[in-house]
Amino acid sequence: MAEEEHQSDEGLLRVLKWDLGLFEQITRGFRFPREWDARYRDQNQTAADAPPRYITLFEDLFLQGNFRLPATEFLSHILHFYGFHLSQMSPPGIVRVRHFEFLCQSHNIEPTLEKFRAFYQLIRNMDFYSFGNRGSAKKILLNPPKSFHDWKQKFFFIREEVIPIAMIFRAPDVLRRRSCRSPRRLTGSQMSDRCPEDSTQVPVLKFEDRGCFPHFRWVHGRAPVGTRGTILV
């Protein structure tokens, strides 16, 4: 079997297996300073065994999800609002967060939690969290990665100070449903993630009275019949 290769600042990183050598390539390639004290796991440790004042991070967040440290303010807002720990974020979740950041920045739009929630809702798969498209919103990530092989086995520990917010572990049973009440009007300067129960409008991001991101065909339109404004938070 041929090994997959990914480009880093110091060359190609081989990701077929997870060992101390690859871990050291990542700490060098992504320029982790010594004070972050990134640690490769011991033989019998699991991802749940982070030492006190350390957190667990997964290799695929970096190589597949374009996650970088220190974390951005936008990611901090998402973790704070949804109330889960970064180590509970699956690679598909970080892919959508980072893609949204890049998309907004490429159009000189500030990425905000309100904008993000207009297009995505929180979903849970086993004990990890990600984001799925809202039923009435246009898709903005057309070709997401299909799978992440053995990503839960490729982890390391790092000082918790690399994420400048107090993170908590979210229990699986705290997902809540919140009904939409107010009209959804989306503009570059103000964006709501709520809509009336009988709404048939498709969310559209607008900037200076024009739809942004034309290559994603963000246009005015109608939602499919049966679409409702129920939000997972």
37-75 pLDDT tens trace: 999 998 889 999 999 999 999 999 998 899 999 899 999
CA–CA distance, 147 with 153 (Å, rounded to integer):
14
CA–CA distance, 233 with 216 (Å, rounded to integer):
26
The per-residue pLDDT of the chain, averaged, comes to 74
Would you say residue 229 lies in a domain?
A: no
Q: Where are the beta strands (DSSP E) in the chain?
A: 5-8, 11-14, 39-40, 54-58, 120-125, 128-133, 155-159, 177-179, 206-207, 210-211, 230-232
Would you say residue 209 lies in a domain?
A: no
Would you say residue 140 lies in a domain?
A: yes
Confidence (pLDDT) at 89: 94
Would you say residue 105 lies in a domain?
A: yes
DSSP-derived letter for residue 186 is B
Give me the domain span that covers residue 165.
Answer: 13-27+50-174
Q: How many domains does the chain have?
A: 1
CA–CA distance, 174 with 83 (Å, rounded to integer):
10
Would you say residue 145 lies in a domain?
A: yes
Would you say residue 37 lies in a domain?
A: no
Q: Which residues in the chain land under pLDDT 70?
A: 1-17, 172-233
Confidence (pLDDT) at 173: 58
Would you say residue 198 lies in a domain?
A: no
Would you say residue 205 lies in a domain?
A: no
Assign residue 37 a region (left: φ > 0; alpha: ψ between -120 and 50; beta: otherwise): left
